[in-house]
Chain A
Amino acid sequence: GQQVMQIPQYQHVQEGEDFTTYCNSSTTLSNIQWYKQRPGGHPVFLIQLVKSGEVKKQKRLTFQFGEAKKNSSLHITATQTTDVGTYFCAGPYFGNEKLTFGTGTRLTIIP
């Protein structure tokens, strides 16, 4: 079946260090979305990328969509305690509009 894997599953970083999570799909995605879930909270939409090779930035966050539209990454520069949470990628497969979510990367920050 269609699968979206994320690595790493967990990441512990010192405050101020950079963080990257990678999202890999078994098949081509029509777009990729990223969501953030704070501890005890619910997923919240961050961004959507649609074009092959697209790069978008939100302050310290940089999102990339791969050329083959099968992978994506989220990079956070100089992490802060507010970045704590689990980051999910999600994408609809061509021919199926429903989102398939990645397994998530849980980020913890060591002050």
Chain B
Amino acid sequence: DAGITQSPRHKVTETGTPVTLRCHQTENHRYMYWYRQDPGHGLRLIHYSYGVKDTDKGEVSDGYSVSRSKTEDFLLTLESATSSQTSVYFCAIGTGGINEKLFFGSGTQLSVL
């Protein structure tokens, strides 16, 4: 498997609290992605990064922000968690381009009570 580490693996938090998920890669890939996975919806793109400090929104970006201060780290922040953000979050890395294939981390199970 590609060198991608997500932390934490599991988190339980309360509505209204801030939450930060971390993705760390050792592959030096330019592109990094955050997806959420929910039953019946597959994988939906939240935000992605195409370089240090270069980020863009995906299809479900509301309520989320990201930062990438180093090539290897991509952070996903929920400023004020809501119950609708209970999900499994996956980080992925890729080389970019039209034929890009993605390598996924092991995921973070987030529960917002």
Contacts and interface: CB of A to CB of B under 8 A. Distances in A.
A is bound by B: yes
A1 B40 CA distance: 17
Interface string B53-91: 000001100000000000000000000000000000010
Chain B, interface SS category: loop
B40 A97 contact: no
Contacts of A1: 59
A97 B107 contact: no
Contact of A92 (B44, B98, B107): B98
Contact of A42 (B90, B99, B100, B101): B90
B26 to A, nearest CB: 16
B43 interface: yes
Interface in A81-111: 88, 90, 92, 97-104
B42 A97 contact: no
Nearest to A43: B104
Contacts of B42: 4, 6, 88, 101-104
Contact of A31 (B98, B103, B105): B98
Which of A35, A43, A103: most chain B CB closer than 10 A?
A: A43
Interface in A7-52: 9, 30-31, 33, 35, 41-45, 48, 50
Nearest to B4: A42
Given A42-B90, A43-B90, A97-B96, A9 B101 contact: no
Contact of A99 (B40, B100, B103, B105): B100
Given A30-B98, A42-B107, A48-B101, 12 more contacts: A4-B42, A42-B104, A48-B99, A88-B42, A88-B43, A90-B43, A97-B100, A100-B45, A101-B35, A101-B42, A103-B41, A103-B42
10 A-B pairs closest in CB distance: A101-B43, A42-B104, A103-B42, A101-B42, A45-B101, A104-B42, A43-B104, A30-B98, A42-B106, A97-B98
Interface of A: 1, 4, 6, 9, 30-31, 33, 35, 41-45, 48, 50, 88, 90, 92, 97-104
